Structure 1
Amino acid sequence: MASSGTRKRRERGSIVPEDILAGAFAVAERDGLDNLSMPELASHLGIGVTSIYWYFRSKDDLLRKMTDQATTLLQDRLPTPTDWKPEEWQEFLLAYFSTERASHQDANVLTDLVLMRTSSYSIPSTHRVYRSVERVLAYLVEVGFAPRQAWQVFSALSLYTRGFIITERTRRVNQTPPLGSPQLSLIDVDTMPILTELITHHSAMLDMADDESFEFGVRLALDQAARVLEGTTS
């Protein structure tokens, strides 16, 4: 008789690929993607490891399928340009990249799969992402940007957003707090008067990775993009 701490093994043939993928995400969220292994996944699911290999030939194959699912999830969440009027392009881009950032918050496995392990992308996943980019570029060209300008606007905002996401991911891993009164002991008040003033009176505004800071950076880029557009259409 199995002890109460032992997971009861499933009957042979009772597992399906969707169950394995769900289990893989659960184990990766718990232990980290680097520590995801076929034996640990089998133990989590209560099956023999050969049942996993029946559907997934290797861990790399499993990671590709996980990346397929992660990219589909992200792409399904992003706003579609066809739902926005041309004159709303700035608000669309703010919504697009804000949604991308929000999708990664507290979703370490999604970030690792989509942004950190791009070698795990399958051809279908790559095409899915490129089609999404193509739709945004087509929308910006319709607005009035030249194709090269549209690409530069999109890539600048994309790189900014991804940097923001990875910064937040790193901070979660290292449990690094934003600047605030606890960090005053690290500041030399005689040589750092501006930081001292900001931390003392405006500590809530010194988080480099908060909602306000993210939107401020996006709108700076959008203001420059608007000037480029004005020069193109004038």
Structure 2
Amino acid sequence: MVRPASARGRQRRERGSISVDEILRGAFEVADEVSIENLSMPQLARHLDVGVTSIYWYFRRKDELLDAMTERVLLEYDMSVLAIDAGTWRESLRAHAHRMREMFKSNPIVCDLILIRGTKNIPAARTALEKIEQPVAALVAAGLTAKQAFDTYTSVAVLVRSSAVLQRLQSRSAEVHFPREYWEQVIDAEAMPLIASIPGRGYRIGMADDGNFDHILDSILDRAEAFCHNS
């Protein structure tokens, strides 16, 4: 239902004529344009062409709205792990790590809600831990102890999450995009001849790029492989 046009010609929906699903869909649309951090209730109301009280009727605070958005993400996005095969555990775990990182990289809102903001939802946390059981079991079958398997998988998970978050933060900050000329002035070939001799000349220092991600990931997998050989 739409109210009659006001003196200024604007039409606004009646309170109660909007649903939770419409509010959440609109919230994701606004967040996609301005980010989760800059999303506001008045801005969302304007986007939906309703009075802000229509939003507060369902969500009294922005935190409540963000909680609902997080639950919707957990429900609709595929957070499942790729099955880890004991016979090819290294390759399958590596593929899993890349898949999860790519999912967070390609979905900034998912990264902001799940990794940066987080959730205290107990059922969601339980579901996440249940999904870890399978890869841990595969690593145990490959020769690791339960603790070694758990530590290996959670280390990979921390790497994926931290890399995705750092890359997300870097993408939101113009200051991290230093031009090549900057590094050419920073790197002194006489004071740091080894770094200056490396292709890239230090441009990747502190960056959450593919090269640094793979280097750390392979180090974790090398350690796990050593556990297998020593068992």
Structure-1-length-normalised TM-score: 0.81
User: In the alignment, does 2:20 pair up with 1:17?
Assistant: yes
Mapping 1:169-180, distance limit 5 Å: 169-175=168-174, 176-177=176-177, 180=180
How many residues of Structure 1 are paired with residues of Structure 2 in the alignment? 224
Q: CA deviation at 1:168?
A: 0.8
**50, 53, 76: which one aligns with 1:50:** 53
Q: Would the aligned equivalents of 1:68 and 1:121 in 2 still touch at CA under 8 Å?
A: no
Alignment RMSD (CA, Å)? 2.9
| Structure 1 residues not aligned, in runs of 5+ | none
More helix by share: 1
| Structure 2 residues not aligned, in runs of 5+ | none
Deviates more, 1:63-72 or 1:170-179: 170-179
Structure-2 change in CA distance of 1:162 and 1:55 (3 Å): same
Mapping 1:96-175, distance limit 5 Å: 96-118=96-118, 120-175=119-174
The amino acid of 1:222's aligned partner reads: L
Structure-2 change in CA distance of 1:7 and 1:62 (3 Å): farther
Q: 1:97-120: CA deviations, max 9, x gaps?
A: 1111111215332222111222x4
Structure-2 change in CA distance of 1:228 and 1:42 (3 Å): same
Q: 1:30-60: CA deviations, max 9, x gaps?
A: 3232322222211111112232233334322
Q: 1:154-190: CA deviations, max 9, x gaps?
A: 1211122222112212211223237845420222332
Q: Would the aligned equivalents of 2:136 and 2:149 in 1 still touch at CA under 8 Å?
A: yes
Q: Would the aligned equivalents of 1:32 and 1:109 in 2 still touch at CA under 8 Å?
A: yes
**30, 34, 37: which one aligns with 2:37:** 34
Identity %: 33
Structure-2 change in CA distance of 1:215 and 1:179 (3 Å): farther
Mapping 1:213-224, distance limit 5 Å: 213-224=212-223
What is the distance in 2 between the residues matched to 1:39 and 1:113? 20
